[in-house]
Amino acid sequence: MDIFIDPDSTSGLANQIFEEIREGILDGRVGPGERLPSSRELAASLGVSRHTVTTAFQRLSAEGFIEGRRGGGTLVSDLSSLRAPGSPSEPILDRSGRDQGVAPALDLRPGTPDPRLFPTADWKRYARWAVDQHVATYGDPAGVADLRRVLSRWVARSRGVDASFRQLIVTSGAQQAFYLLIRACTEPGDVIAMEDPGYNRFRSMAEATGVEVVPIPVDSEGLVVDAIPPSVKLVHVTPSHQFPTGVTMSMARRLELLSMAHSRGALIVEDDYDSEFRYVDRPLEPLYRLDRSGSVAYVATFSKTLSPALRLGYVVVPLSLHEQVLEVRRQIDWAPSQVDQLTLRGYIADGHLESHLRRTRRVYMGRQHRMAAFLERAAAQGVLRPAASNAGLHISARLSPTLDEADIMTRLADRGVAIEGYAEYSSIRPAVGGLVFGFGLVDSEQLEEALRIVADVIGVDD
Ligand SMILES: Cc1ncc(COP(=O)(O)O)c(C=O)c1O
């Protein structure tokens, strides 16, 4: 079991160790009878004093989570009698990703951050505070004003997006922002464009609103702007880290896209879903910053930085569209839970998101480097052609033409490794297949095991 502590957190070290182990026991990552590392080992691996670990162990023991054994060793107790009636036996932040069902043993599917890294203790503190505010009205359909102020400062600092909080609307994740924008500026039958391969959930949701979704190819510079039909009303694009290929859109293409949108009166929906995880260079600035004609809506989410379970994101809307978007908002769910919005507000305003990102970036960077080294080796052996990717929670790779994507995925699934392929994200059938290697859900040990199986299945000497 991996334990993560944040030396910058205001929640003491012993408390963090207590919470991490307690969560691990409650969500079944460590089972009854399993042995915990000794206080000496754990103190050494976490870089804290032994006294700190002993304090955490004493509390776990007092609350019945662990028990000492004669002859040494600390074991996890059998909790079946301790669980509160009706308490979930499955973790709420479950590691099966988006889909319901049994989690595969080794999950290389992209898109979900590691629930083991969720800042449970801090989040609980702010959630408790938020509940105490006794909010009892529908509130503002754009979202809690205080949160929007905090978010407008956050997006200015982290991404250089300079926007008044009045332009910002809090949404239930990026997906809802896409929905609001489509409904606000299209009619059924209108043409909208998206990258191919691209974010499949955008396509299925857009089609459900009655618009025609035209797939636009992606090359080494990103979206091929020339291929966008003249009648387009809205373009969905992931310029900073194309999903799923990982390509960064070139400056020439950015300018071309902005000029196309301006001349045709189309809206660009900039999906900046994972720029917070950048491991080498600085990310290119968002399209939003280059836009001089109010053609870009900038969408961000907390699904990667914190958890998709929160369903929280936001959109910076061109002022000309603001009222139309809010009108759709009022027609559907009004606004996300104010308790959750207030929790997020406190968490970011007190600087926790920044320290959480520092901590998680380090963890993901280790996994990203390991994954990249494996893919380079596979490339040197002519088996895969990985995309240059220095960001996010996945790396994509084209398969050599001799390998069949569906066959590889089935063989991996038979050995307990879940992964996604390009076919899932494409409506234009790709000439060669590809795999999307996510590393959000596997800890370093699981990653090693998964890569051993992948190497075996695709024939790579790692
Ligand atoms: C490219 C891309 N955009 C948007 C999203 C949606 O995020 P949310 O959970 O905020 O709806 C995802 C989620 O996986 C994604 O991969």
The model's pLDDT over 187-211, given as tens digits with 9 standing for 90+, comes to 999 999 999 999 999 999 999 999 9
Among protein residues, the one with the nearest Cα to ligand 1's atom 14 is: 111
How much distance in Å is there from the Cα of 311 to the middle of ligand 1?
A: 10
**Helix 50-62 × helix 39-46 angle, to 10°:** 120
> Rounded to whole angstroms, how far apart are CA atoms 234 and 228?
10
Quickly state the pLDDT bin for 339 (edges 50, 70, 90): very high
**Measured from the CB, is residue 243 less than 6 Å from ligand 1?**
yes
Q: Of 31, 35, 53, give the one whose Cα is nearest residue 44.
A: 53
> Rounded to whole angstroms, how far apart are CA atoms 248 and 21?
39
**Measured from the CB, is residue 425 less than 6 Å from ligand 1?**
no
Higher pLDDT, 143 or 47: 143
Quickly state the pLDDT bin for 80 (edges 50, 70, 90): low
How much distance in Å is there from the Cα of 110 to the middle of ligand 1?
A: 10
Interval 255-268 mean pLDDT: 97
Cβ proximity of 298 and 270 under 8 Å: yes
Q: Tell me which of 109, 112, 201 to substitute to probe ligand 1's pocket, judged by most ligand atoms within 8 Å of the beta carbon.
A: 201
Quickly state the pLDDT bin for 102 (edges 50, 70, 90): low
Ligand 1 atom with minimal separation from the 243 CA: 1
> Rounded to whole angstroms, how far apart are CA atoms 345 and 32?
38
Quickly state the pLDDT bin for 171 (edges 50, 70, 90): very high
**Measured from the CB, is residue 341 less than 6 Å from ligand 1?**
no
Respond yes or no on whether the N-terminal peptide bond of residue 37 is cis (omega within 30° of 0).
no
**Burial status of residue 227 (CB atoms within 10 A of its CB: 0-12, 13-18, 19 or more):** middle
Residues in the chain: 462
Q: How many CA atoms lie within 13 A of 181 on its CB side?
A: 33
Judge whether residue 439 has pLDDT over 80: yes
**Measured from the CB, is residue 273 less than 6 Å from ligand 1?**
yes
Q: Tell me which of 195, 199, 202, 441 to substitute to probe ligand 1's pocket, judged by most ligand atoms within 8 Å of the beta carbon.
A: 199
How much distance in Å is there from the Cα of 308 to the middle of ligand 1?
A: 8
Ligand 1 atom with minimal separation from the 313 CA: 10
Cβ proximity of 279 and 244 under 8 Å: no
Q: Beta-carbon neighbour count of residue 133 at 10 Å?
A: 12
User: Encoding tokens for residue 437?
Assistant: 């290697």
Residue type, 209: T
Judge whether residue 153 has pLDDT over 60: yes
Q: Tell me which of 107, 151, 181, 243 to substitute to probe ligand 1's pocket, judged by most ligand atoms within 8 Å of the beta carbon.
A: 243
Quickly state the pLDDT bin for 92 (edges 50, 70, 90): very low
**Measured from the CB, is residue 271 less than 6 Å from ligand 1?**
yes
Among the ranges given (42-46, 57-61, 333-337, 452-456), the one the predictor scored with the smallest mean pLDDT: 57-61
How much distance in Å is there from the Cα of 432 to the middle of ligand 1?
A: 25
| Cα 197 from chain centre | 19
Interval 132-157 mean pLDDT: 95
Instruction: Identify the helix (H) or strand (E) that includes residue 367.
Output: helix 352-380
User: Encoding tokens for residue 180?
Assistant: 């609001």
Q: Of 387, 442, 444, 396, give the one whose Cα is nearest residue 417.
A: 442
Cα torsion angle, 174, 175, 178, 183, sign: negative
> Rounded to whole angstroms, how far apart are CA atoms 117 and 440?
10
Give the mean pLDDT of the chain. Answer: 91
Cβ proximity of 23 and 53 under 8 Å: no
**Measured from the CB, is residue 173 less than 6 Å from ligand 1?**
yes
How much distance in Å is there from the Cα of 278 to the middle of ligand 1?
A: 17
How much distance in Å is there from the Cα of 226 to the middle of ligand 1?
A: 26
pLDDT digits (tens, 9 = 90+) for 31-75: 888 888 888 888 888 888 898 988 888 878 877 788 887 667 888
Which strand ranges, in their side-by-side order, compose the sheet holding 267-271? 168-171, 313-316, 296-301, 267-271, 232-237, 191-196, 212-219, 222-223
Quickly state the pLDDT bin for 119 (edges 50, 70, 90): very high
Question: Can you tell me which residue has the tokens 């400062």?
Answer: 153
User: Encoding tokens for residue 240?
Assistant: 């900073």
Interval 414-423 mean pLDDT: 96
Respond yes or no on whether the N-terminal peptide bond of residue 286 is cis (omega within 30° of 0).
no
Judge whether residue 135 has pLDDT over 90: no
Higher pLDDT, 390 or 228: 228
Judge whether residue 89 has pLDDT over 60: no
> Rounded to whole angstroms, how far apart are CA atoms 269 and 239?
10
> Rounded to whole angstroms, how far apart are CA atoms 205 and 188?
13
Cβ proximity of 341 and 144 under 8 Å: yes
Instruction: Identify the helix (H) or strand (E) that includes residue 182.
Output: helix 173-185
Ligand 1 atom with minimal separation from the 312 CA: 10
The confidence score (pLDDT) of residue 57 equals 86
Quickly state the pLDDT bin for 429 (edges 50, 70, 90): confident
Q: Beta-carbon neighbour count of residue 308 at 10 Å?
A: 21
Higher pLDDT, 119 or 86: 119
Judge whether residue 283 has pLDDT over 70: no
| Cα 72 from chain centre | 41
**Measured from the CB, is residue 198 less than 6 Å from ligand 1?**
no
Residues pairing with 299 in the sheet: 271, 315
User: Encoding tokens for residue 317?
Assistant: 């809307």
Residue 387, SS3?
A: coil
How much distance in Å is there from the Cα of 175 to the middle of ligand 1?
A: 6
Quickly state the pLDDT bin for 315 (edges 50, 70, 90): very high
Q: What angle do CA 198, 200, 205 make, to 5 degrees?
A: 125
E strand spans, 97-190: 106-107, 168-171
How much distance in Å is there from the Cα of 108 to the middle of ligand 1?
A: 16
User: Encoding tokens for residue 391?
Assistant: 């960001």
Q: Of 175, 437, 450, give the one whose Cα is nearest residue 332.
A: 175
The confidence score (pLDDT) of residue 96 equals 43
How much distance in Å is there from the Cα of 273 to the middle of ligand 1?
A: 6
